[in-house]
Structure 1
Amino acid sequence: MSMKKAMMALMLGGLLAAPMAFASVDRNTLQAESIRSQQAEIRSGVEARTGRYKDLSADTRSQLLSKQGEVLRLLEGKQTTDDLNEAQKTEVFNALEWIEAAINRTDDERLVCERRQILGSTRRERVCKTVAQMREERDAARNRMDVRGACVDCKSD
């Protein structure tokens, strides 16, 4: 199974997969041990600089190992992802997505999740979007501001 397919299986297996309308629903739980073993396999390849990991820059290798450390710290003593609170689940998901994107060099396809308060409510919802979607939305908002002449962070010539 390729790394991309393995990571997708992890996400679809219930680790904060972004369901329709970006709602927060955990239908299944993921075993923390399977995440730990997968990350150990990745770590050994990164440290040995072999296979798909041989061309990673020193900076990317360092960041990847740091992200793995975050994931392993959060999963320490946990049996399943259900043992994590919502913020921890989001942090684990984002770190695993970052690792996948770094390995596959597909940063634009990487999902990033945030917990946002629903306007007019005390409830929070998980919103997951790709890096490319977030950039497009930010650029569209900036363009709308430019058209109206209300762009506060635009550079004046």
Structure 2
Amino acid sequence: MLGKWIVGTSLAMLLATAAMAAEINAQQPFAEQRAQIEKDLGGDTYREISAEDRAKVIAALERMSQRLGDGKQPQDLKGADQVSWFNDQELVNSLLTQAREDSRLVCERYRPTGSKMPQNVCLTVAQRRATREEAVDEIRQIRRSGGETPSR
């Protein structure tokens, strides 16, 4: 039993480390990481990030840069500055990790009703979630209206 727990815990830690690999690492030069994150925010890596979360990431990156100043590393910071820097690091990492997961493309192959030709449908995780939520909302509306379909 203990062996399974250790293997499970090790696997979870490995996956968490892999998920954070693209985010800010205090052991690597911050300026390079910031430039890469800003580039990725403009591309497909984080395409599902909300405007609000994008603004939070950019603001946190700016605060982190200001605290480091010229040539400092996070380990050189002291007291409240170090705590604030690491809090901003955690904010950026968590927002970008969620955005990257939501931006992951998932493809399914299915045969539409009445057709023998299979089709591929590719949607991001966020698009699939939104579609599912819309379907659930529509079913609720039908139930509330006594079985009549809502007009569109």
Q: Normalised by the size of structure 1, how large is the TM-score?
A: 0.46
Q: Normalised by the size of structure 2, how large is the TM-score?
A: 0.47
Bigger-Rg structure (1/2): 2
